[in-house]
Structure 1
Amino acid sequence: MGVCGCGKTTVAEHLAAELGVKYAEADDFHPKANIEKMASGHPLTDEDRWPWLDALAAWIDRRVAAGEPAVVTCSALKKVYRDKLRRPGVVFVYMKGTYDEVLARMSHRQGHFMKTDMLRSQFDILEEPGDDEVHVDVEIGHGTTPDQEAAAVIGALGL
């Protein structure tokens, strides 16, 4: 979880490959209208997000029911969004960085619908996970690579 451009997808792909588990990218669950709205520079509302979060929760439920560990990316910026996704065994990995660090990462992305001018709106609504939420913080920046960040998650989870 984390704001756009923090490295969720890259680290999740590394985790899924290293652990040999299924992986889902939350952007693939967005309705077309959501993607068009974000691509045109408009932030999503909570009402825009609920069907998307419901689809992600259903995917998680299918993995849990099948006993299949998995990795899924999701911005999950507000606690109420994480509450929708929270299940026994679900651990949120918070890709934590400053606005400037994330902006620098985003400036290197090509072809993504989320543009850098939308980053501020994500930081504005971000509610960092609290002590009452099962999560691991991963500090981004400081010259760390996605491999190092994925290794930090695996170590923190004892996998």
Structure 2
Amino acid sequence: MGVAGSGKTTVAKLLAKRLAWPYAEGDDFHPEANVEKMAAGTPLEDEDRWPWLRAVAEWMSAQAADGRSSIVTCSALRRAYRDVLRDANGTVRFAHLAGDRDLVGERIGFRRGHFMPSSLLDSQYETLEDLGDDEDGLVVDIADEPEQIAESIVQGLELRSRNG
């Protein structure tokens, strides 16, 4: 979880490869109307997010039903959004990729072909609610290299590969 540009996709792909777990890009679950809204520079409202979050949770439940741990990227900025994800079957844990707003803004400036414009970053930080002490997860600093971030997540959440 984390704001746009925090490295969710990069780190998730590293984790999926290392752990041999199925991976899904949360952005792929957005309805076209959400994508168009964000591409136009309009922040999503909760009414836009609920169906998207439920679709992500359904994918997670399907993986759990097939006996698979999985990885999915999702901003999950508010506790209420994470509550929807926690409704998925299985154990849902979060790795919050957190960091300096200027660093994230710089990273977004280098991205190409993504519908999320840098103009929405401030609204993401305004929406962001840190993980609560009672939420299963950890916070990882995005200033580290992606491989180190992935290692911190594996160690911090005590994750195990499907292959061993």
Equivalent position SS for 2:34 = helix
What 5-or-longer segments of structure 1 have no aligned partner? Answer: none
Partner of 1:14: 14
Distance in 1 between residues matched to 2:64 and 2:27, nearest whole Å: 21
**Contact map agreement 2:137 2:157 (CA 8 A) in 1:** no
Report the number of matched residues.
157
Give the alignment of 1:73-152 within 5 angstroms: 73-86=73-86, 87=88, 88-141=90-143, 144-152=144-152
Check conservation: 2:16, 2:23, Cα contact below 8 A. Answer: yes
- Match of 1:107, SS? helix
In the TM superposition, structure 1's runs of 4+ consecutive aligned residues that sit over 6 Å from their partners are none
List gaps (5 residues or longer) in structure 2. 160-164
**CA positional deviation for 1:158:** 2.1
- Identity across aligned pairs (percent)? 52
Paired AA for residue 72 in structure 1 = V
TM, length-normalised to structure 2: 0.93
Q: Aligned partner of 2:16: which letter?
A: A
Q: Distance in 2 between matches of 1:74 and 1:37?
A: 17
Q: Distance in 2 between matches of 1:148 and 1:135?
A: 17
